[in-house]
Amino acid sequence: MLQCCAPGSPVPPLRGALPHSATALRRRLRQCAEWIPEAEAVLDLLEKCPENQKKGGFPIIVFEGLDATGKTTVTQAVKDTLNGILLRSPPPCISQWRTIFDDEPTPTKRAFYAAGNYILASEIAKASTQAPVIIDRYWHSTAAYTIATETNGKVQDLPPAHDEVYQWPEDLLKPDLVLLLTVDPEERVRRLQLRGLEKTKEEAELEANSLFRQR
């Protein structure tokens, strides 16, 4: 779990760094849609999602972790064991534009990933009426990356415990359980090399950032 700074410590201005509602997300996406056509497409999908999604009768389990920490293997195994439904963030309907938004300014990139969580929530709500839902990354990844990059990875600069940046968005569907998968850094590099993959820009930042090694 991310630790918070002690009372009286310097606090970075995180308010507004990450849109904390679907309404705020729509506003930001409309602004960047003027020069990014794909933002308009994401906005259209977001507009089609019912507000305040409610979960069904089956559990919703989220697995978080960097690439090559075993999420694919574990989520598939849990899905098979529980005879559940496996979903991933960002969802397939927008993941095709991921590389486009990754090259955009930070506020635009954050809006894309945050919107993906709301769009995914619509799928989660429907799936949870049919079977247990297993999710590969959700809001936690988006929020943790925002917090760490805004504070430059300095634990002492984390906002106080009750800062709104830690709060779950009131209009976003909550999971029942969240599990963080970790692996030795050297082993993770070895796995990536075996796959013939390089670290993405975001993955490299996350790995280098000391804040993400805090529990």
Residue from 168, 121, 134 nearest 60 by CA: 134
- Its pTM stands at 0.83
Look at residue 18 in the predicted model and tell me its pLDDT.
86
Look at residue 207 in the predicted model and tell me its pLDDT.
56
Which residues 6+ apart lie within 8 Å of 5 measured at CB?
Answer: 11, 155, 156, 157, 158, 159, 160
Which residues 6+ apart lie within 8 Å of 208 measured at CB?
Answer: 153
**Is the Cβ–Cβ distance between 149 and 205 less than 8 Å?**
yes
Helix (H) / strand (E) element for 180: namely: strand 177-180
pLDDT tens for the chain, 215 residues long, are 444 444 444 444 566 788 889 999 999 999 999 899 999 999 999 999 998 889 999 999 999 988 878 898 999 999 999 999 999 999 999 999 999 999 999 889 999 999 999 999 999 999 999 999 999 999 999 988 888 788 776 777 787 777 777 889 999 999 999 999 988 888 877 878 787 755 555 555 555 554 445 54
Which residues 6+ apart lie within 8 Å of 64 measured at CB?
Answer: 71, 137, 138, 140, 141, 178, 179, 180, 181
Looking at the structure, give the CATH architecture of the domain made up of residues 24-213.
3-Layer(aba) Sandwich (3.40)
Domain residues of the chain, as ranges?
24-213
